[in-house]
Structure 1
C-alpha cells in the first residue's frame, strides 16, 4: 500500500508502506533505524554509518554524507531515502528527489531530535519502539538538567569541531543545545559554525574548551597547542558522537554526559 508523509522541510513524500528498501545517508539516523528493529530493510548506508559495526560490515556503502555515489544508489532501487538538511548536499538531494522518495530531517535541538525519532518511527512502522526510545531520552535529559542545577554547573565553554581554520559550534546548532541541557554556557555567540583564531578565542575567556572527536579527529597532541594559547582554560577531549548524533545514540549520551558533569565539578 502507498502512504504519504510530510518531511521536515515540508515536502510530501509518498512511499510503499512499510518501506522495504531503505537507503540511509546520515550516520545517526542509520543507527536509529537499526535500533528501531530494522535490518534487511536497510540496503544502503554511507561509509560513516559505523554503528552498529556488525551491520556496517554487511551493508552496501554509497559514499559519504556530502559526496554520494548516485549511480550506486540507483542500482539499489530504494523505495525510501532518509537524509538530513545539514548533513547532506542540497544538489544531490534534489537530484535524488527526482527519482526516489526522499524524506529529510531538519534538527537543531533535542526536542526536534525526539520529534524526528517519532516521525521516522511512523515512516517505517516502528511507532512503539520510537516512543520507548523517546521515553528513555526524555527521562535521561530531564535528570541531566536537574543535576546541572543541583551541582551548580554553569561554566562557560567553547566547542571546537575543526582545525585549520579553527571552527566552533555556535548558536542554533544541536551541539549548542546539548551543552545548554547539561548546564554549560556556550561562549560562542555567532550562529552555526564560525571561524575564530585562538587570539579571538582568548578574548572570550572560556573556562573550558572541548575538542571534539568529529568531524575533525582532535587528539591529545592538540591539547598542548591550544592550552599554550589559552593557559587559563581547561582543555579536554570529548566524544563528538555524544554531542552531535541526534538519534538513538542519545540514550548512550545520557550516561556519558552524566559522568562529564561530574568531571566538570572535579576539574
Structure 2
C-alpha cells in the first residue's frame, strides 16, 4: 500500500510541518485523539471532547471542551491552539468555520476505507514531526492486514448494522464501518431509497428476506445482550453484539479492528 507524499488533508488543504516548540492541538475527534497519543503527541494536546476517552490514563489529564458537535468555542479560544483536527462526519461545519477564525491550522480528516488510515498516519506523523512513530503504525497496519482471512473462502453475508434505536438507524455502503466489514465479505444492507450515509429504516418482511445477519453496535447507541435476545425473537435472524469502537474508530484503533474482524468470522 502506498501513501501520499504531500501533506494534503481530506478537503485538499496542503499543510506544512509544525513547529513542535509552540504546537498546541485541539482534537474534536475521539479516534484522532487516540491516534495522536499513540504517535507520542499527547503533551501537545490542549483540548479534547468528552468522547475522547482513549487512552484513558492519558486523556484524563487533557481538558474537555464539550462534545463533538457542541464545543465551547470561548474555552477553546483561551487555549490559544495552533492546530485543530476535525472530521467531516463527526463535526459540524459551522462550528469548524467559527473555530477556523482564530485557529491558524485546521486539519480535516475523513477516512472512508481502512486503507485511508495509511495516509492519515503519514499526514499527522509528518505534520507533527513524529515520522518514525507513523512508519511504525503503517507497518503494524500492513501486518494486521496480512492476517485477515481470504475473502474468497469466506461465506458472503448481507448484514444489517444497527447504530441506533428509536428511530432505528444503520450505515450506508460508503461509510468506514461498511468498508471495514467488507474486508470479511460482509456487505451492509441499507434502504434502497436512502439518501443519508446513516439512514433511518423500518422493520418489514421484505427487509428481513434481504439480510442474513443483524449486528448491534455497542456505540453510539449502547446496545446490549437484552436487545440481542429481543431482536432474535422478533426477526428470527441471527443477531450479534459487536464492538462499535473496533469497527468505527479509525486511526491506531484500526489495527486492532482488523484483528477483531477475524474473530467475527469465527463467531
Q: Same fold (TM over 0.5)?
A: yes
Q: What is the DSSP-based 3-state SS (H/G/I as helix, E as strand, rest coil) of the residue aligned with 2:54?
A: coil
Note the C-alpha offset of 1:218.
0.7
Gaps of 5+ in 1: none
Alpha-carbon distance in structure 2 between the residues aligned to 1:16 and 1:254 = 31
Q: Give the structure with the larger strand fraction.
A: 1
**Paired residue for 2:214, among 209, 215, 218?**
209
Question: Is residue 26–residue 83 contact of structure 1 (8 Å, CA) maintained in 2?
Answer: yes
**What secondary structure sits across from 1:236 in the alignment?**
strand
- 1:118 corresponds in structure 2 to 122
1:260 maps to 2:260? no
Residue aligning to 1:137:
141
2:224 is aligned to 219
Partner of 1:198: 203
Secondary structure of the residue aligned to 2:126 is: helix
Match of 1:242 among 243, 246, 249: 246
Pairing 1:26-175 to 2, within 5 Å after superposition? 26-100=29-103, 101-146=105-150, 148-150=151-153, 152-175=154-177
Question: Which protein is richer in helix relative to its size?
Answer: 1
Q: How many residues align?
A: 257
Q: CA deviation at 1:257?
A: 1.7
Q: Structure 2: where are the runs of 5+ without partners?
A: 1-5
RMSD: 1.9
Q: CA deviation at 1:138?
A: 2.1
Distance in structure 2 (CA, Å) of the matches to 1:142 and 1:107: 20
TM-score by length of 1: 0.90
Q: Indicate the residue corresponding to 2:3 in structure 1.
A: none
Cα deviation code 1:242-265 (max 9, x no counterpart): 1100100012213322211111xx
